[in-house]
A and B are shown apart, each in its own frame.
Chain A
Amino acid sequence: MQWWELALILGTIFAATAAFIWVAISHSHNPAKQKNNAQALTGAAEKDVEHIFNEEFREELRNRGRLHFEKIIGENAMFLQQDLRLTTSQLNDYMKQEITHTLQEEFAKYEESISDAKQLAQQAIEKTTTALDQQRQLMSHQLDQQLQDQKAQMLARFEANMADIVNHYVLAAIGNQIDLSDQLEYILGDLETNKQAMIEDLRRGA
């Protein structure tokens, strides 16, 4: 709507109003006349009003109001859209900050938990290593002791049975090498030694 159109509308309204006022003042001095005038003026006003504010004019006003309302609605929608975009952007930033902050806190807690677990595991490994070292030393000591004991036992057994071992070795070594004929004198000598016992046993047995 142009300004001159608005000025034309306002001028028309103002002129109509001034005409009404003048008619009213002129009829106010004679009550009957005034009454008739008033009635006439009222009728004329109604006619003028009907004449001025006809359907086209009303439709024109309605269209102008509709357009104006649409314009205001459009502007408000644009403002609302901008505001919504701004709010969305701020909300995104806020969410990012909050999420980042929360994640950082959670990561910090997670790192702290991992660090604690690592420390616990390290302590456990150290304890296990220490225990293993102690066990290894103990086993090594026991093994050495057992080896020493076994060695001593074997030596003692060997010394105790040394004579038997030598006897067995000599008998095994020379047993097949001595001819029986070479033993005759030795055998006869032994028989001679035990001759009396044999004779007595044979007499007793007989």
Chain B
Amino acid sequence: MAPEASQIQLPINLIDTTDINRAKREVEALAEFLDQASIREPGKQPAMPRTSKTLEELARINKLNLLIADQRQQVLSFLEYLQQKAPNIHISFATDPSAAFLGKIVQWFRAEVHPHTLVHVGLQPSIAAGCIVRTPNKYFDLSLRQHFNQNRQSLLDSLEGLKSE
């Protein structure tokens, strides 16, 4: 039996809304192809649309067959559900993160915060190190700059100590 929409697992490489939209377009294209194929004559089938690894991974980890209409519809419903309900988090780094690094970050969010968390990645070189996280209503500055600013007084005390010596 196919799982419910809210119980479907998200693959790590399906990260943000763009990925969701792309997967949804692919499912819709696949559905349209299969509908057209059902009314065409045998032996004159057009080429099957390509699907991305992201969509294949989504189907694989949830043991869904996209050629089956019910399960394909289930994936489509799930993607629509993600578009409307999935929590979005924006995270910025000083440099462009690698796929492996980003996978670990996304994995942590889905394991610790919400299983359907969509992560939007930004670039902010001025933070030097660390990251800045924005949730719908909050701003978490976890950068090295902020860390330095928080410890400004201790740095001043140290410098004053050096000066007095």
Binding site for B on A (CB under 8 A): 162-164, 166-167, 170-172, 174-175, 178, 180-181, 183-184, 186-188, 190-192, 194-195, 197-199, 201-202, 204-206
Interface residues of chain B, those whose CB is within 8 Å of chain A, are 85, 87, 89, 93-95, 97-98, 100-101, 104-105, 108-109, 112-114, 117, 125, 128-131, 133, 135-138, 140, 142, 144-145, 148-149, 152-153, 155-156, 159
Name the B residues within 8 Å of A170 (CB-CB): 148
List A contacts of B112 (CB < 8 A): 191-192, 195
- Which residue from chain B places its CB closest to the CB of A164 in the assembled complex? B152
Interface centre among A170, A191, A199, A206 (most CB of B within 10 A): A191
Q: Known interface pairs A167-B149, A202-B114. Does A180 touch B137 (Cβ–Cβ under 8 Å)?
A: no
A187–B105 touching, CB < 8 Å: yes
The 9 A-B pairs at the shortest CB distance, nearest first, are namely: A205-B136, A175-B128, A190-B142, A171-B128, A201-B135, A167-B148, A202-B87, A163-B152, A201-B138
> Is B85 a contact partner of A206 (Cβ separation < 8 A)?
yes
CA distance A197 to B62 in the complex (A): 30
Task: Give the Cβ gap from A78 to chain B, nearest Cβ, in Å.
Answer: 120
Q: A181-B101, A184-B101 are contacts. A198–B133 as well, Cβ < 8 Å? A: yes
Report Cα–Cα, A167/B158, bound state, in Å. Answer: 13
A187, B142: Cβ atoms closer than 8 Å: yes
A190 touches B129 (CB 8 A): no
Distance between Cα atoms of A94 and B25 in the complex (Å): 137
**Which residues from B are CB-within-8-Å of A183?**
129-130
- State in angstroms the CA–CA spacing of A188 and B114 once bound together: 15
Shortest Cβ distance from residue B164 to the other chain A in the assembled complex, whole angstroms: 12
Among B85, B109, B148, the most chain A Cβ lie within 10 Å of the Cβ of B148
